[in-house]
Amino acid sequence: MENREPTREEVNALNGATLLEFGATWCGYCKAAQPTITSALSHFPNIRHIKIEDGKGRRLGRSFHVKLWPTLIFMKDGVELKRLVREIEATELRAALVSLSALP
C-alpha cells in the first residue's frame, strides 16, 4: 500500500489508464483478492496501478465514496470509468482491464 496518500487533485491529474485499489493490509477480502488482481495486472503493464491504504479519516477514499474493500476504480485521464467492489472475480476484472487498456 502507498505510504503517502495522493490527493484527489493529483489523482484527477493523472494521464492515461490507472487502476486505484483501495483496501487495508489486515482486510481478509483484500488479501483474498490479491492473487487475482496481481495475475490480471501482469498482462496489462500499460495500466498504472496505485494501491491505497484506506480507512477512517482517509480523505481520498472518502472523496471516492469508498465503503467496502477492496474497491477497484478504473480511470482514464483522471475520470472514473468503472468500479469493482469487494469480491473481485477474475473474468470481470480482466474484462474491465481489457476495456480500459483499449481506450485511446
Q: C-alpha cell of 40?
A: 490480471
Cis peptide before 6 (omega within 30 of 0): no
Give the rounded distance of the alpha carbon of 103 from its chain centre: 17
Quick: pLDDT tens for 54-100.
998 899 999 999 999 999 999 999 999 999 999 999 999 999 999 99
Residue 5 CB contacts under 8 Å (≥ 6 apart), including other chains: 52, 53, 58, 59, 60
Residue 10 pLDDT more than 80?
yes
Task: Quote the radius of gyration of the chain (alpha carbons, Å).
Answer: 13
Quick: pLDDT tens for 45-55.
999 999 999 99
Asked if 91 and 82 count as a contact pair (C-beta separation under 8 A), the reply is: no
pTM of the model: 0.94
Percent of the chain with pLDDT over 70: 97
